[in-house]
A and B are shown apart, each in its own frame.
Chain A
Amino acid sequence: KAGVTQTPRYLIKTRGQQVTLSCSPISGHRSVSWYQQTPGQGLQFLFEYFSETQRNKGNFPGRFSGRQFSNSRSEMNVSTLELGDSALYLCASSPTTPSYNEQFFGPGTRLTVL
């Protein structure tokens, strides 16, 4: 069974630009969560989607948004990028929500903002 895939794996953007990251969950999984990981703050929860609906949201500004499609694939968007948005963005999928003990993480997208 294929794991969680994230594209692209690496991305370089400049301040003020916007970016879209993609996540394909494990087949059959309907819940997708997004996290930001930085050396200073560690792993922080962004949001969770289940059946195309946002179920939970972390404490991030409105520049961070996401969506989920009918095939459970998810995208997250960051607008007006800031230097502090440089991070590893991780996606995790699970069969149901919330089911963090059955949560499988992808390898992440490394975003660098210059």
Chain B
Amino acid sequence: EDQVTQSPEALRLQEGESSSLNCSYTVSGLRGLFWYRQDPGKGPEFLFTLYSAGEEKEKERLKATLTKKESFLHITAPKPEDSATYLCAVQARGGADGLTFGKGTHLIIQP
């Protein structure tokens, strides 16, 4: 059974204080690993897709990396508008079961 574990559950940072969110996964053949951002009262918003170990993608202050067992979402010099819940999901080869999501990391950036 595919599993995704995210840590920490919650993280409070000062504006400008860089940090990383972790996503550990177990999947029977990874087709893709996805990062989403979810704001209160809204649906998730797609951020990145990673397909193979060693791959990295960047968008503004965010950088996602992937190894064979985990993914990191690095946040550099965050701003208050980066506050959100960040969700990680995996899709197994074959993709018959849709996406398997972690429970997310609730990130708060204080001014």
Residues of A that sit less than 8 Å from B by CB: 4, 33, 35, 41-45, 47-48, 56, 58-59, 90, 92, 98, 100-108
Measured as residues with beta carbon below 8 angstroms from the partner, the interface class of chain B is 20 to 34
**Does the CB pair A104–B46 fall under 8 Å?**
yes
Q: Point out the residues of chain B lying under 8 angstroms from A107, CB to CB.
A: 41-43
Q: A42-B104, A43-B44, A107-B41 are in contact. Are A101 and B96 (CB under 8 A)?
A: no
CB distance from B55 to the nearest CB of A (A): 13
Q: Is the interface of B mostly helix, strand, loop or mixed?
A: loop
Quick check: A45 and B98 within 8 Å, CB to CB?
A: yes
CB-based contact A90/B44 at 8 Å:
yes
Total A-B contacts with CB atoms under 8 angstroms apart? 58
Nearest chain B residue, comparing its CB with the CB of A38: B103
B→A interface (CB under 8 Å): 32, 34, 41-46, 49, 87, 89, 91, 95-104
15 contacts across the A-B interface (CB closer than 8 A): A42-B101, A42-B102, A42-B104, A43-B44, A43-B101, A45-B98, A45-B100, A56-B98, A90-B43, A90-B44, A100-B34, A102-B46, A105-B42, A107-B41, A108-B42
Q: Please determine whether A105 and B44 come into contact, CB atoms closer than 8 angstroms.
A: yes
Asked if A98 and B95 make an inter-chain contact with CB atoms under 8 angstroms apart, the answer reads yes
